A and B are shown apart, each in its own frame.
Chain A
Amino acid sequence: MSVTVGVVRFPGTNCDLDTLDALAELGARTVLLHSDETSLGSLDAVVIPGGFAHGDYLRTGAIARFSPIMDAVASFASAGGPIVGICNGFQVLTEAGLLPGALRPNAGLSFLCQPQQVVMASVNHVLGHGLSTSEVLHIPINHFEGNYVCDRLTLQRLREKGQVVMRYVGNPNGSLDDIAGICNEMGNVVGLMPHPERATSELLGSTDGCRLLEALLEAAASTRQVIDRRTA
């Protein structure tokens, strides 16, 4: 059964088409959503892709969070809808308060575009289906601000509740506790710095990204079944 995934485009987003292509390749119906829209329509999942929303001016995600569409994204989140923020999308989700913590400039103060190994730290979230904890994936990173930081209490909570989604193998950017991705308490909102859409073909060097995106489509399908059952 095909699910419908919305991909949000802010002015300055640049991984929107790549993300649409990768999801469509896996059989999803895809919809491009402009950030000035106020409603998501009928969707099973939302992806906020990478790029430089509003040029990253002021601070990454700081202007994007005020876009009209972010209210609809927040409502979708509280209704349990699956949401994934990739790279700049992760930064937007933290700025919008949908995920805790913040992403600071890399420890080396240098942009990093490189292959990266990550290890799954939990699978109890919308990118976890079919994966197991401790599994190592090859997913490239591409960011200047990927150095995750939060206060001690938040970190403790993230660890205790299994909200650390994945960690870097060989921390490239100074991220606290090697964190590469986290989720909210319900597990339906995930933010990650690595780009799964860039690891979707042998031609590009890895297909591990497909496993994360397939997990999202699976989560979208089962969430819809739950909602369908409730409304039936």
Chain B
Amino acid sequence: MSIHEALGLTDAEYERICELLVREPNHLELAMYAVMWSEHCSYKSSRRHLARLPTEAPWVLVGPGENAGVIDVGDGIAVAVRIESHNHPSAIEPYQGAATGVGGILRDIFTMGARPIALADPLRVGPLNEPRSNWIAEGIVSGISGYGNSVGVPTVAGEFVSCETYRDNPLVNVAALGIMPTERLVLGRATDVGGSAVLMGASTGRDGIGGVSVLASAGFEEADDDATKRPSVQVGDPFEEKRLIEACLELLEARLVSGIQDLGGAGLTCAASETASRGGTGMEVDVTAVPLRQHGMEPFEIMTSESQERMLAIVAPAHVDQVLEICARWEVNATVVGRVTGDGMLRVRDGADGEILAEVPASTLHDDAPSYDRPQCPPAEREVRRGVDPAARPVAGSPQVADPGDCAADLLAMLADPSWVYRQYDHQLFLNTVVGPGHDATLLRLRDPRDGTPTGRGLGISVDGNHRWCDADPRRGTAMVVVEAALNLACVGADPLALVNCLNFGNPTHPEVMWQLSEAIDGMSEACDALGIPVVGGNVSLYNETNGINICPTPVVCMVGVHPDLVRRPIAAAVAPGTELVVLAPTGLAGQADDGDDAVARQPVPLGGSRWAWERRHCRDGALPQLHLAASVATAQFVAGAVRDNLVHFAHDVSDGGIALAIAEMCCHGGTGVQARVPSLGASAPAARALFAEPPGRVLAAVEVHDVDRLASAASAAGVECRRLGSFGGSRVQIGRLAEPGLDIDLALDETLARWSGALPESFAQPVDGTAA
């Protein structure tokens, strides 16, 4: 294998480098192109598709392409938000992989001048109860807990999903938010020719060399390879990062730096070339000035090392002493390693005026990176799969086709309290957490970053993904994910403002994967347009595959919104005996079939892509329910308003697991039973369809008896269906259908609560016998 192939470059890419340089690159230059032209840094397979996303709105201060997206939330406050993936490192070394993901995302936030105030961690792992999956899951959660808690940024939201598709390739996405006075916004640009490049933070070691090209831009072949890839995983030091945050924020506050950039994927090469390229300048780096952790490191190792907790600041020569002094006070190492030049070249030298080791036009590392229009093709069996009805599939072990099964058992099997995960995260630091993890969305107090004064307003955060929906139909499934995020924000009374996305997909050289990616981007665009919100940043993680099997397409979004008045917030305790249970939904989903509406009854809602079909019938086929975008958006807007008007005291969107799971979750939150009858979603439909189908746009609400009529007339005026389904109270969870006399589910509240709180702890308490399935 040639050197460029070993570094992950194709023959055509190598030839293009020779053309750009008008000569053959040396080893160091080749290593720099290899990391910068990797999938991770260059988005070479996704760039042309990402261009279709809506990115503009009057409140967008910084859109995609910078370290983080920034939006104006009023009162002179700007919110920076960013999402990243650390999937591959976490598959190899779960604790450090997840921990360094947290560190990296925080640097992206304070690089913009914002103080990080919140983290969110959407996690996806393999089937629990398998020793290896449990090891990965526990390692990931401990890594986030160990790093996030110590670095002093609360982890306030997340997801915890387990599915076979992630057995060898877990998804560790991490989002971060920061706030700053709008006037403090800083960009990662080196515009001052003659300015010094100051490297701050940890010393540079051999950890993470080529992480972006070796790990992030290739799939896994055999488990044995993990050991050889482990040195490509970085090691995190949250205490170093904590000091680095404080030092950088002080430098930015004192306006001592003109540009600043974190060293993440592709290390110093990326930071130096990005700041120069964005500023239209060049840069000289002296490799001998870089403080090293190990002896005998080669220049290419220094330039591509991904050692954590490092920043590159561009400082006017007159300010260098002051910068070094502030860094010293925070016990942060800082060294001048280079200077900004006017010739557009990235030059690496051996000594300040020493031999030139590498010399390439800085912009060629970015702007000339390849962009591929890879072939796309929908999966051949797509139409056949869509025709399957999971409800017609036999229950495993049952001789009878279309056995209705045990709906109560199905419900209990899907019920799990995620607090096992989030209680390991500090989710209360900074005293902002009004609605914390475990609910539809998180609600934080929005305070003025200048002096901490409460604005009275709140910041809503929701992270969402659903691989089952996106596997059934990547376009509609992705749109449904975006709608769900908006509904989640609505449940806490917040209106959406913007989102960032993390697109986790398989191998882009497989045409089906490229088709999924392209469809998902279109679905996301459609939903964002319907909501009137922009995409302000994102991350693409490809090559999520093992032994040639791709993961299910998993776009994840982190949506941010604002609540205008925190006095009117949802309260879980409102789900109490005597409260009424009401569903708010787009037309056709609130029981019209039960009222004799034949048009609705003739088209039963399909069960394809539902959690029930996948987990309880082991059926991944079937069509996805219809998405009525405008009506779902109207429902979200109505729910947000009803929560703020105190008409609805607690709201919960109906998502995976269907309406039965959503009702049971409300019972668990409130510690009360329920007697409810739910819409059938089709004439003579089996119970499972009514209970577990996942048509988008529905929200359950806990409403006071005397408010039900007022809510119904307000809903009717807004064109939203509203139907009372039953009442909370009693010691049993009883769910039936509107048009049927009996009960489909009748469980003791105690048993339901025990299953809810015990599910995750029990999964992790299984003895590890080393016999992974």
Residues of A at the B interface (CB closer than 8 Å) are 11-12, 14-15, 17-18, 21-22, 51-52, 54-57, 110-114, 140, 142, 144, 195, 197-198, 200-201, 203-204
In the complex, A11 Cα to B328 Cα: how many Å? 13
Would you call A12 and B433 a contact (CB within 8 A)? Answer: no
Q: Determine whether B331 belongs to the interface, using a CB cutoff of 8 Å to chain A.
A: yes
The proximity string for B residues 138-160 relative to A, scoring 1 for CB distances below 8 Å and 0 otherwise, is: 00000001100111100000000
Contacts of A144 in B (CB 8 A): 149
Query: Least Cβ distance of B479 to chain A in Å?
Result: 34
Would you call B566 and A21 a contact (CB within 8 A)? Answer: no
Residue of B nearest to A201 (CB): B431
Would you call B434 and A56 a contact (CB within 8 A)? Answer: no
Given the known A-B contacts A11-B331, A110-B424, are A22 and B431 also in contact in the complex, defined by CB atoms under 8 Å?
yes
The stretch among B25-33, B236-244, B694-702 that forms the contact with chain A is B236-244
Q: Determine whether B430 belongs to the interface, using a CB cutoff of 8 Å to chain A.
A: yes
Would you call B239 and A54 a contact (CB within 8 A)? Answer: yes
Q: Determine whether B129 belongs to the interface, using a CB cutoff of 8 Å to chain A.
A: no
In the complex, A200 Cα to B432 Cα: how many Å? 11
Given the known A-B contacts A111-B424, A112-B424, A113-B425, are A198 and B431 also in contact in the complex, defined by CB atoms under 8 Å?
yes
Would you call A200 and B239 a contact (CB within 8 A)? Answer: no
Would you call B434 and A204 a contact (CB within 8 A)? Answer: yes
Query: Least Cβ distance of A36 to chain B in Å?
Result: 9
Residue of A nearest to B246 (CB): A11
Given the known A-B contacts A14-B242, A52-B238, A112-B424, are A200 and B152 also in contact in the complex, defined by CB atoms under 8 Å?
no
Q: Pick from B145, B426, B566 the residue with the most CB of A within 10 Å.
A: B426
Q: Determine whether B429 belongs to the interface, using a CB cutoff of 8 Å to chain A.
A: yes
Would you call B152 and A52 a contact (CB within 8 A)? Answer: yes
Q: Determine whether B452 belongs to the interface, using a CB cutoff of 8 Å to chain A.
A: yes
Residue of A nearest to B764 (CB): A110
Q: Determine whether B427 belongs to the interface, using a CB cutoff of 8 Å to chain A.
A: yes
Residues of B at the A interface (CB closer than 8 Å) are 145-146, 149-152, 237-239, 242-243, 330-331, 419, 422-431, 433-434, 445, 452, 566, 569
In the complex, A158 Cα to B425 Cα: how many Å? 32
Query: Least Cβ distance of B47 to chain A in Å?
Result: 38
Would you call B428 and A113 a contact (CB within 8 A)? Answer: yes
Residue of A nearest to B146 (CB): A111
Would you call A12 and B430 a contact (CB within 8 A)? Answer: no
Query: Least Cβ distance of B670 to chain A in Å?
Result: 15
Query: Least Cβ distance of A57 to chain B in Å?
Result: 7
Would you call A12 and B428 a contact (CB within 8 A)? Answer: no
Would you call A200 and B431 a contact (CB within 8 A)? Answer: yes
Which 10 pairs show the lowest CB-CB distances between chains A and B? A55-B239, A14-B152, A52-B150, A111-B424, A114-B423, A111-B145, A203-B434, A18-B431, A113-B426, A198-B428
Would you call B428 and A203 a contact (CB within 8 A)? Answer: no
Would you call A56 and B429 a contact (CB within 8 A)? Answer: no
In the complex, A57 Cα to B239 Cα: how many Å? 9
Would you call B239 and A52 a contact (CB within 8 A)? Answer: yes
Cross-chain contact of B423 among A15, A21, A113, A203 (Cβ < 8 A): A113
In the complex, A138 Cα to B386 Cα: how many Å? 52
Given the known A-B contacts A114-B423, A203-B445, are A56 and B428 also in contact in the complex, defined by CB atoms under 8 Å?
no
Contacts of A17 in B (CB 8 A): 430, 452
Q: Pick from B146, B331, B423, B566 the residue with the most CB of A within 10 Å.
A: B423
Would you call B431 and A204 a contact (CB within 8 A)? Answer: yes
Query: Least Cβ distance of A52 to chain B in Å?
Result: 4
Contacts of A55 in B (CB 8 A): 150, 237-239, 242
Would you call B149 and A52 a contact (CB within 8 A)? Answer: yes
Contacts of B152 in A (CB 8 A): 12, 14, 51-52
Contacts of B569 in A (CB 8 A): 203
Query: Least Cβ distance of B453 to chain A in Å?
Result: 10
Contacts of A51 in B (CB 8 A): 152
Query: Least Cβ distance of B304 to chain A in Å?
Result: 27
Would you call B429 and A15 a contact (CB within 8 A)? Answer: yes
Query: Least Cβ distance of A176 to chain B in Å?
Result: 22
Would you call A112 and B434 a contact (CB within 8 A)? Answer: no
In the complex, A168 Cα to B429 Cα: how many Å? 21
Residue of B nearest to A50 (CB): B429
In the complex, A201 Cα to B419 Cα: how many Å? 23
In the complex, A69 Cα to B429 Cα: how many Å? 25
Would you call B566 and A12 a contact (CB within 8 A)? Answer: no
Query: Least Cβ distance of A71 to chain B in Å?
Result: 21
Cross-chain contact of A197 among B424, B427, B431 (Cβ < 8 A): B431
Residue of A nearest to B445 (CB): A203
Listed A/B pairs (17) with beta-carbon separation below 8 Å: A11-B243, A11-B331, A12-B239, A14-B429, A15-B429, A17-B430, A21-B452, A52-B238, A52-B239, A55-B242, A110-B423, A113-B422, A114-B423, A195-B428, A198-B428, A200-B431, A203-B566
8 further contact pairs, Cβ within 8 A, besides A18-B429, A55-B237, A55-B239: A11-B239, A12-B152, A18-B430, A18-B431, A111-B426, A114-B419, A142-B428, A203-B569
In the complex, A21 Cα to B452 Cα: how many Å? 8
Query: Least Cβ distance of B575 to chain A in Å?
Result: 16
In the complex, A82 Cα to B426 Cα: how many Å? 28
Q: Pick from A22, A140, A142, A200 the residue with the most CB of B within 10 Å.
A: A142
Would you call B150 and A140 a contact (CB within 8 A)? Answer: no
Q: Pick from A55, A144, A197, A200 the residue with the most CB of B within 10 Å.
A: A55
Would you call A204 and B433 a contact (CB within 8 A)? Answer: yes
Would you call B434 and A142 a contact (CB within 8 A)? Answer: no
In the complex, A56 Cα to B146 Cα: how many Å? 11
In the complex, A21 Cα to B330 Cα: how many Å? 23
Given the known A-B contacts A18-B430, A21-B452, A204-B433, are A12 and B150 also in contact in the complex, defined by CB atoms under 8 Å?
yes
In the complex, A180 Cα to B520 Cα: how many Å? 51
Residue of A nearest to B433 (CB): A204
Query: Least Cβ distance of B99 to chain A in Å?
Result: 13
Contacts of B433 in A (CB 8 A): 204
Cross-chain contact of A56 among B150, B424, B425, B445 (Cβ < 8 A): B150
Query: Least Cβ distance of A228 to chain B in Å?
Result: 32
Query: Least Cβ distance of B648 to chain A in Å?
Result: 19
Query: Least Cβ distance of A49 to chain B in Å?
Result: 11
Contacts of A198 in B (CB 8 A): 428, 431
Residue of A nearest to B431 (CB): A18
Contacts of A201 in B (CB 8 A): 431
In the complex, A18 Cα to B569 Cα: how many Å? 22
In the complex, A112 Cα to B431 Cα: how many Å? 17
In the complex, A201 Cα to B447 Cα: how many Å? 14
In the complex, A57 Cα to B464 Cα: how many Å? 35
In the complex, A51 Cα to B426 Cα: how many Å? 10
Residue of A nearest to B428 (CB): A198
In the complex, A177 Cα to B2 Cα: how many Å? 67
In the complex, A195 Cα to B150 Cα: how many Å? 16
Given the known A-B contacts A14-B429, A52-B238, A142-B428, are A112 and B150 also in contact in the complex, defined by CB atoms under 8 Å?
no
Contacts of B151 in A (CB 8 A): 14
Would you call A204 and B566 a contact (CB within 8 A)? Answer: no
